Structure 1
Amino acid sequence: MRTVESEHPDPVARVVLDTPFSWPEKYYDYLIPEKLHEKALPGARVRVEFGSKRLTGFLRERTNTTDSPRLRPLVNVLGEPVVTEEIFLLAEQVARDNVCSVHDFLRGAVPPRHARAAKTILELPAPVFDEIEMQGGAFDSTDSSSDASSSTALPTYDLLDGHEKLLLAGRSTWQRVAASTQLALSKNVKVLIVCPTSLDVKKCRQAVVNLLPKEPIALLEASASAETRYRHYLSALLGRTRIVIGTRAAAATPINAGLLIVVDEQNGAMRDKRSPYLWADDVLRARKQIGEHLGMGERTLLRFSYPPRLTLNESGVVTGGEWPKVTRAEQWAGDQRGILPNAAFETIRKGLESGAVLIAAPRAGYVPALACASCGKRAVCQDCGSSIAVPKAGSNASCTRCGTGQWRCSCGSTKLRAVARGSQRLAQEIARAFPSVEVDSIRSGTESSGSPIVIATPGAEPDREFSAGVIIDAGARLASLSLDAEIETIGRWSRVAMKVSDHLLLAGGVPPHLAHALANRDLGFLMPLLEEREILGQPPFHRWFHVSGKKPDIQRLLGEVAARLEGEAPPEQGIAALLSGGGRQVFAEGIHLVGPTEDETGLSLYLHERTPSKRLARALRDSFQHLGQLAVRVEADPIL
């Protein structure tokens, strides 16, 4: 370590670079030229020379010491600081725990710079916020044990007590989120709200605007333009708004929010599809801890969801919010084996007497799945292996990928039968049953015309209230081998139930205990799922790491990891033997190697640590930093 002398204080810029080989807490030192001393502030984007390339990154800190014998100068500073100390600490903690780079996290958290947006925001005068007073109503009539089935009421005790709470979702969820926001602002507490989709962001914003029409709101969602996203990001950073509403990436917005809210936390959209593969509620939980550690004030985390995600985090449970009556088709007499049982028609008929009816179809299209009429084997294309389907009314069955219309079963039959109906076919059946009623079939990305009967695929349910609802093939997802099948299924049902006021019917293959759980928003069904995960050694009880890449690099990495875990390097042939084996093998004390499998892209394997500790994560992180460039990808706690 040497000291760098300069006329200016702290002439060394410590930079986190945007490079695939920048591993946890890996920073590079650069000399700050005299012309850039005033602009080179912590949190600013910078451009540097790295080898023969020019890369961008973020200036983590300025110092006067370095380990480097020779420092290259910064090339340029690209605008204003955009990363705060809190977000740097958050990124570093994520990198340590999930074996990714700091920049992996920052890349998703900080939108690309937009010069016009920056100029617009920086020229605005300082905002003057209205004083917010609670008008009552939303916080007057329930307590934590009551079931406010006909009210949007929230508990009379203070929600902003610095603890984590689960508020069971209901039809009035957005109104309850807005009421929580109003309460926070009345106490001069800023609010950060994270929602699964852009449509949910719009719904949330409208609910907040209804209560706080004059309050500026920053919206951070992927569907917005680059200029809009950056302008709203700077608004939050510079204190020009007290409310941020956004999708998953908004969880890392630099706003000192004392109230953190996540809606529908177990929705698949709430998990990052790229490294570091984090769930939004985990990011908010980490922010709560870091912010309080930095002395930024007490932070409350509210989770509006049913069902919640399976974690080991303890939180109080708050009931309330409107919920429909829930039944299943098997509770009625008669033939229930058809795609539309008698109970479904009766539910639709009664629902139309007092309002509109929502029918949730599991798939789009006409007949998306066919089987052999003789032996029942699923019909797949002999040329490419894709499904045989009927794309629209009046058309012939054909392959969904290559389009061929030729098909013959291995049993010799050429006759097909439908095994699943799509939303278009359901619309036909419903229209025939109710000829005087308009039926509207919608998919994701389309909007309902306001018809009395609406048929929608998952995620496309329109934002309106329905008197009754029917979920067709409600138990179809339960056939999945995923351990999360039950939670994902109830999550889909809940999103429909939140739009229904009177009666929701689950039609097709629904176990009684899950129907009961949905009807009562019961959390008891989660206990067997947690016990199963503990027995099988799955997250959140154990840690798993999916490792994939080129075989030589994986072999080097595993050798280094084993040495750090066991205290001495294993023989090279020992690692090679592990990689030529299969199944479950002992890798180190308390750690197993599962696999590997191999394809044209390289090897894929899992490391399984039989505790939720950070021992394996630390060994992987340190190994990457020691070895440098490796063509290896690591995913912490993958969905198994």
Structure 2
Amino acid sequence: MSTDGDQLELLRAATRGRKPKPPAPAAAELPVARVTVDVPLPHLDRVFDYLVPEPMSAAAQPGVRVRVRFGGQDVEGYLLERVEASDHQGRLAPLRRVVSPERVLTPAVLRLCRVVAERYAGNLTDVLRLAVPPRHARVEQAPRPEPLPPFGQEDGPVDGAVVSPIPITGWEQYRAGPALLARIAAGDAPRAVWTALPGPAWCDDLAATIAAALRAGRGSLVVLPDKRDVDALDRVLTRRLGQGRHARLEADLGPTTRYRNFLALSRGDVKVAIGTRATAFAPVHDLGLVVIWDDGDEMHSEPRAPYPHAREVLAVRAGLEGAALIAGSWSRSVECAGWLRTGWARPVVADRRVVRDAWPRIQVAATAVGGRDDPSAHGRLPGPAWRAISDGLKRGPVLVQVPRAGYLPGLACQDCRHPARCEHCHGPVGLPRSVPKDQASLPECRWCGRVAAAWRCQNCQGRRLRATTVGVGRTAEELGQAFAGAAVVVPQADGPTPHVPPNALVVSTPGIEPVVEGGYAAAVLLDAGRLLERPDLRASEDALRRWLGAAALVRPSAAGGAVIVSADPQVPAVQALIRVDPGSQADREFDERAELGFPPAVVMADVTGTATAVNSLVRIARLPEGTQTLGPTEVLVATPAAEPPPKPREPRRRLPRTAALSGLEEPVKEAEEIDETQVRVLLRASRKDLAVLARALHEAAAIRSSRREPGATRIQLDPLNPG
């Protein structure tokens, strides 16, 4: 790095009439520090060399946070390594400060972050931001707790052996379960796709594998979708391993507690980490086991650049560190089906007899059926569902799963049945809440939030509205009136887990159903077919996963547990639910995607941004041979309610410019108009060209960044819902 900052300091000192302070001498050993600076520009995604002053030499160790002079200002970064000499021809600028001597970036995590950044065409600094939480000096200065004895040796060894043997666990119910547990205990690195049996026993099974790894002297990390699952596993690990044997990593803990737990892992005081998606980067020492639970949940996909998926991060990490990998769920994702098909992982499933005994009886009931005396014959609730709720409430709580939140989220014109749309942003119009009968209920746009008080149908100019979709609020209101003796419980996604009385009727959206002691007596998957109607590549996969998640909370069939599904029985996903066979449905989905050319059979990159920026990036990128370009297509952006729709801008003119980067010269001879329309381009390539495609996109983004071309782009490889 140049010494512009030092020259500026000398100039300031001279103008103030004082003698400039001489620079400190360089460190006697390894005087050059290689630093990655926290700058988001792609063309600066590389390592820079700085001089290590002798007073900072002891603290400036690989993995610490440092502050350096970059681009005329002080920026933070990480010191990656110390070397004897630099390739830079000029003088090196010194480190400004060692922010903390705490080595928060371990070599294993740094290696993982580099691979993930390359895999997802991102910057190393963006991945490091996901891996290392913000610093809290007070936590670093706090005294460390007393170290715990090795797990299993709390009472001391007996004849050189561990006191506690491997316990008998629920893994005996699975064909390859005991073999998996034995290999983990031996320090091997098996890879398994685990189709779990219903109920809360999955936490005990994971605790057994973690205990087996600890006895082998290896650490473990478990990534779970949300706080509810983290709480469940936390309670079991505390009971099975003891207090202080594991650490939680999640945003809900708050920055102080999260950083304290992070330091306990990076210092090696704790060797087990559990938490949400960022836990995939946890600095666990001697890592021997990585686990992801319910990998099909969209919460495992990082919404920030470079948008990595926790499943792929753990797969990479297992290979880099020689750790065992378990992908467990009640269902099965298409990506895990691909792992099994290639032999990269092995299935861990129970026999069909065990599956039939463990799951509740599942029955399909179409809507609007029943006899003349059936109160549900002309209603939304099928007759079998009505009877299941009525009988189930006599034996315990009953769960009703509703696919949509809100009150009446979908409305249409009463006259022509055309969907009701907002006249400002063309978003869907619905009724967000219930109101008293003496008050008027005004529809609102679900995108921009505007009240459509004077709504008029754009198709027939009608003014009357009808409901097309019923949400959880209206459903709870209707069921509360139908079953007056039952207490109605409606869980909230952002609220605490509610208490469920013995005779409660729980009306919930998918994914937030509370767990009850002993399981639900019955469950009704109301309007289940709605989950299949989403314009989403993963609609069938996600619907089956959510259905099985609700059914797993119900008592076994031998205990009277029953599940009623309101959907078309001919749909393959519904048939897989009836048979409790998620594997066949995942294989079917994989074959269909391979035939149509969708991930994971191929690699696909989503490039979104202004039309000028996207077209420029695709034109510059040296894409692998055979890459297909789909698009561009315009992206509809909703306008916020508080802001009026923007006025169309006059196209600006871009001045001619000649740029050169790495020998690439592309003169722009003519002025171009800048199109700020938001568009999307999909790039589809063979799976074997993943690394080439990612590198090409990152290099193209770096070229645009170095030229300071206008417009921003978002690059996302293997998006959850391409198109």
Q: Is 1:605 aligned to residue 681 of structure 2?
A: yes
Q: Does the C-alpha gap of structure 1 residues 65 and 145 become closer, same or farther in structure 2, counting only changes over 3 Å?
A: closer
Given that 1:398 and 1:406 are in contact with CA atoms closer than 8 Å, whether structure 2 keeps it comes out as no
Q: Is 1:527 aligned to residue 587 of structure 2?
A: yes
Given that 1:154 and 1:176 are in contact with CA atoms closer than 8 Å, whether structure 2 keeps it comes out as no
1:289 CA displacement: 0.9
Q: Is 1:450 aligned to residue 482 of structure 2?
A: no
User: What is the CA–CA distance in structure 1 between the aligned matches of 2:609 and 2:68, rounded to whole Å?
Assistant: 29
1:344 CA displacement: 1.2
1:280 CA displacement: 0.8
Please name the residue that 2:434 is paired with.
Answer: 392
Q: Which moved more, 1:201-210 or 1:546-555?
A: 546-555
Amino acid in structure 1 at the alignment position of 2:202: T
Please name the residue that 1:309 is paired with.
Answer: 333
User: What is the CA–CA distance in structure 2 between the aligned matches of 1:473 and 1:507, rounded to whole Å?
Assistant: 6
Given that 1:129 and 1:215 are in contact with CA atoms closer than 8 Å, whether structure 2 keeps it comes out as no
1:217 CA displacement: 1.8
User: What is the CA–CA distance in structure 1 between the aligned matches of 2:509 and 2:226, rounded to whole Å?
Assistant: 15
User: What is the CA–CA distance in structure 2 between the aligned matches of 1:538 and 1:505, rounded to whole Å?
Assistant: 33
1:359 CA displacement: 0.9
Given that 1:143 and 1:155 are in contact with CA atoms closer than 8 Å, whether structure 2 keeps it comes out as no
1:455 CA displacement: 0.8
Aligned residues: 600
Amino acid in structure 2 at the alignment position of 1:615: V
Q: Does the C-alpha gap of structure 1 residues 558 and 600 become closer, same or farther in structure 2, counting only changes over 3 Å?
A: closer
Which secondary structure does the structure 2 equivalent of 1:313 belong to?
helix
The TM-score, its normalising length taken from structure 1, stands at 0.87
Q: Does the C-alpha gap of structure 1 residues 555 and 481 become closer, same or farther in structure 2, counting only changes over 3 Å?
A: closer
Higher Rg:
2
User: What is the CA–CA distance in structure 2 between the aligned matches of 1:558 and 1:440, rounded to whole Å?
Assistant: 51
Please name the residue that 1:470 is paired with.
Answer: 524
User: What is the CA–CA distance in structure 2 between the aligned matches of 1:221 and 1:328, rounded to whole Å?
Assistant: 39
User: What is the CA–CA distance in structure 2 between the aligned matches of 1:556 and 1:14, rounded to whole Å?
Assistant: 33
Among 427, 432, 437, the residue aligned to 2:476: 427
Please name the residue that 2:158 is paired with.
Answer: none
Q: Is 1:291 aligned to residue 350 of structure 2?
A: no
Q: Which moved more, 1:611-620 or 1:599-608?
A: 599-608
User: What is the CA–CA distance in structure 2 between the aligned matches of 1:243 and 1:554, rounded to whole Å?
Assistant: 43
Please name the residue that 1:98 is paired with.
Answer: 120
Q: Is 1:404 aligned to residue 452 of structure 2?
A: yes
Among 668, 686, 693, the residue aligned to 1:616: 693
1:19 CA displacement: 0.9
Q: Is 1:225 aligned to residue 254 of structure 2?
A: yes
Q: Is 1:492 aligned to residue 546 of structure 2?
A: yes
Given that 1:10 and 1:64 are in contact with CA atoms closer than 8 Å, whether structure 2 keeps it comes out as yes
Please name the residue that 1:514 is paired with.
Answer: 573
Please name the residue that 2:405 is paired with.
Answer: 364
Q: Which moved more, 1:265-274 or 1:508-517?
A: 508-517
Q: Is 1:593 aligned to residue 629 of structure 2?
A: yes
User: What is the CA–CA distance in structure 1 between the aligned matches of 2:274 and 2:716, rounded to whole Å?
Assistant: 28
User: What is the CA–CA distance in structure 1 between the aligned matches of 2:693 and 2:235, rounded to whole Å?
Assistant: 45
User: What is the CA–CA distance in structure 2 between the aligned matches of 1:344 and 1:542, rounded to whole Å?
Assistant: 41
CA-to-aligned-CA distance 1:56-82 (integer Å, 9 cap, x gap)? 111111112222223111111111111
Amino acid in structure 1 at the alignment position of 2:553: K
Q: Is 1:10 aligned to residue 70 of structure 2?
A: no
Q: Does the C-alpha gap of structure 1 residues 88 and 431 become closer, same or farther in structure 2, counting only changes over 3 Å?
A: same
Given that 1:33 and 1:73 are in contact with CA atoms closer than 8 Å, whether structure 2 keeps it comes out as yes
Q: Which moved more, 1:303-312 or 1:271-280?
A: 303-312
User: What is the CA–CA distance in structure 2 between the aligned matches of 1:24 and 1:517, rounded to whole Å?
Assistant: 50
Q: Is 1:162 aligned to residue 183 of structure 2?
A: no
CA-to-aligned-CA distance 1:136-164 (integer Å, 9 cap, x gap)? 33157434179xxxxxx997754554111
Matches within 5 A, 1:8-47: 8-22=28-42, 26-47=46-67
Given that 1:360 and 1:470 are in contact with CA atoms closer than 8 Å, whether structure 2 keeps it comes out as yes
Please name the residue that 1:373 is paired with.
Answer: 414
Matches within 5 A, 1:65-144: 65-68=85-88, 69-79=90-100, 80-120=102-142, 123-131=144-152, 133-134=164-165, 136-139=167-170, 141-144=172-175
User: What is the CA–CA distance in structure 1 between the aligned matches of 2:44 and 2:119, rounded to whole Å?
Assistant: 9
Please name the residue that 2:241 is paired with.
Answer: 212
Which secondary structure does the structure 2 equivalent of 1:612 belong to?
helix
User: What is the CA–CA distance in structure 2 between the aligned matches of 1:421 and 1:284, rounded to whole Å?
Assistant: 39
Q: Which moved more, 1:451-460 or 1:328-337?
A: 328-337
User: What is the CA–CA distance in structure 2 between the aligned matches of 1:399 and 1:26, rounded to whole Å?
Assistant: 48
Matches within 5 A, 1:521-560: 521-549=581-609, 557-560=617-620
Among 280, 298, 308, the residue aligned to 1:251: 280
5+ residue gaps in structure 2? 2-24, 154-163, 556-560, 635-674
| Higher strand proportion (structure 1 or 2) | 1
Among 482, 492, 513, the residue aligned to 1:461: 513
CA-to-aligned-CA distance 1:510-566 (integer Å, 9 cap, x gap)? 54432232242331112232122222222222222223446666566445433xx6x
CA-to-aligned-CA distance 1:248-297 (integer Å, 9 cap, x gap)? 000010103211111000100001111121111111111111113xxxxx
1:86 CA displacement: 0.9
Cα RMSD of the aligned pairs, angstroms, is: 2.7
Q: Does the C-alpha gap of structure 1 residues 154 and 63 become closer, same or farther in structure 2, counting only changes over 3 Å?
A: closer
CA-to-aligned-CA distance 1:555-607 (integer Å, 9 cap, x gap)? 66445433xx6xxxxxxxxxxxxxxxxxxxxxx63112222346636654232
Which secondary structure does the structure 1 equivalent of 2:406 belong to?
coil
Which secondary structure does the structure 2 equivalent of 1:61 belong to?
strand
1:127 CA displacement: 3.2
Given that 1:475 and 1:510 are in contact with CA atoms closer than 8 Å, whether structure 2 keeps it comes out as no
The TM-score, its normalising length taken from structure 2, stands at 0.78
Which secondary structure does the structure 1 equivalent of 2:521 belong to?
strand
Given that 1:29 and 1:71 are in contact with CA atoms closer than 8 Å, whether structure 2 keeps it comes out as yes
Which secondary structure does the structure 2 equivalent of 1:475 belong to?
helix
Please name the residue that 1:568 is paired with.
Answer: none
1:184 CA displacement: 2.5
Please name the residue that 1:235 is paired with.
Answer: 264
